[in-house]
């Protein structure tokens, strides 16, 4: 009897462990494609900032023709007469001193602006509207490789924007406010701190939002790879 029970027990299949059952169920479920849809704040910032940056880059890279007295100054670049008095980086002082910082940051503006436009191109050309409940969503959604390419592009551009703006502020701090220290507090806050502050706040927001998306995407991809290897 002991021998019979032992043989019967050995012949019965072992129950699968909960971990194995979970792994089997996960492997049977195909991973969902990564999707990306920009927030309204991101789109709003791009719609507002890109024309301003194009305008600013044109002024910087076409100096002295865009400066006061130049053939391209009126009417497009008239506001830079005041701004050049507030921030000498944009005025005649830096130009006559042959300071390369202004043009260097203008060249980087061109690169990051091209990246932002490429992101918008991907979004509007490859994005699809998600149908939910018989109605179309207000925004498009990118999936798969276009989503990954778009997120990587706009994340890199936002890091460039933030880094360049921080450098712009730090050069004033470490040079004892050489170019803006002559202003009174009102002009400094209204014409320099507030306008340049936007280029600190919104790129930081974009980086923060996309950081989570990138981490989630990499986590999903690594989980899918580990399941396949098993």
Structure confidence by residue, pLDDT tens digits, 188-200 = 999 999 999 999 9
Q: Which tens digit of pLDDT belongs to each residue from 30-78?
A: 556 678 999 999 999 999 999 999 999 999 999 999 999 999 999 999 9
Domain membership of residue 16 (yes or no) is no
**Number of domain units in the chain:** 1
Give the C-alpha separation, 218 to 101, whole Å. Answer: 37
Domain membership of residue 25 (yes or no) is no
Kindly state the tokens that stand for 54.
């194009």
Domain membership of residue 4 (yes or no) is no
Q: Which of 11-25, 85-99, 151-165 is the least confident region?
A: 11-25
Confidence of residue 4 (pLDDT cuts 50, 70, 90): very low
Domain membership of residue 95 (yes or no) is yes
Confidence of residue 19 (pLDDT cuts 50, 70, 90): very low
Q: Which of 31, 28, 77, 75 is nearest to 52 (CA)?
A: 77
Domain membership of residue 46 (yes or no) is yes
Domain membership of residue 7 (yes or no) is no
Kindly state the tokens that stand for 143.
């999936």
Structural domain including 171 reads: 39-223
Domain membership of residue 76 (yes or no) is yes
Give the C-alpha separation, 105 to 59, whole Å. Answer: 12
The strand ranges marked E within 4-134 are 35-36, 128-132
Q: Give me the pLDDT at residue 220, please.
A: 76
Q: Give me the pLDDT at residue 139, please.
A: 73
Q: Which tens digit of pLDDT belongs to each residue from 75-126?
A: 999 999 999 999 999 999 999 999 999 999 999 999 999 999 999 999 999 9
Percent of the residues in the chain that have a pLDDT greater than 90, as a whole number: 72
Domain membership of residue 228 (yes or no) is no
117-124 contacts at long range (C-beta below 8 A, 24 or more positions apart): 117/50, 118/153, 119/46, 119/150, 119/153, 119/154, 119/157, 120/46, 122/146, 122/149, 122/150, 122/153, 123/38, 123/150
């Amino acid at each position: 009897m002991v021998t019979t029970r032992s043989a019967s027990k050995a012949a019965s299949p072992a129950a699968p462990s909960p971990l194995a059952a979970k792994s089997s169920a996960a492997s049977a479920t195909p991973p969902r494609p990564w999707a990306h849809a920009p927030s309204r704040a991101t789109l709003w910032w791009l719609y507002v900032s890109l024309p301003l940056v194009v305008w600013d880059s044109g002024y910087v890279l076409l100096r002295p023709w865009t400066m006061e007295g130049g053939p391209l100054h009126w009417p497009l670049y008239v506001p830079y007469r005041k701004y050049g008095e507030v921030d000498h980086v944009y005025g005649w002082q830096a130009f006559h001193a042959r300071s390369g910082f202004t043009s260097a940051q203008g060249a980087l503006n061109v690169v990051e602006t091209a990246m932002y436009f490429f992101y918008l191109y991907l979004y509007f050309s490859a994005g699809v509207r998600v149908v939910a409940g018989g109605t179309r969503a207000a925004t498009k959604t990118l999936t798969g490789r276009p989503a990954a390419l778009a997120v990587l592009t706009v994340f890199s551009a936002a890091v460039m924007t933030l880094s360049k703006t921080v450098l712009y502020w730090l050069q004033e701090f470490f040079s004892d406010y050489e170019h803006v220290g002559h202003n009174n507090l009102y002009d400094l806050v209204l014409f320099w701190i507030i306008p340049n502050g936007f280029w600190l706040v919104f790129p930081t927001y974009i980086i923060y939002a996309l950081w989570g998306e990138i981490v989630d995407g990499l986590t999903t991809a690594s989980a899918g790879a580990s399941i396949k290897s098993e």
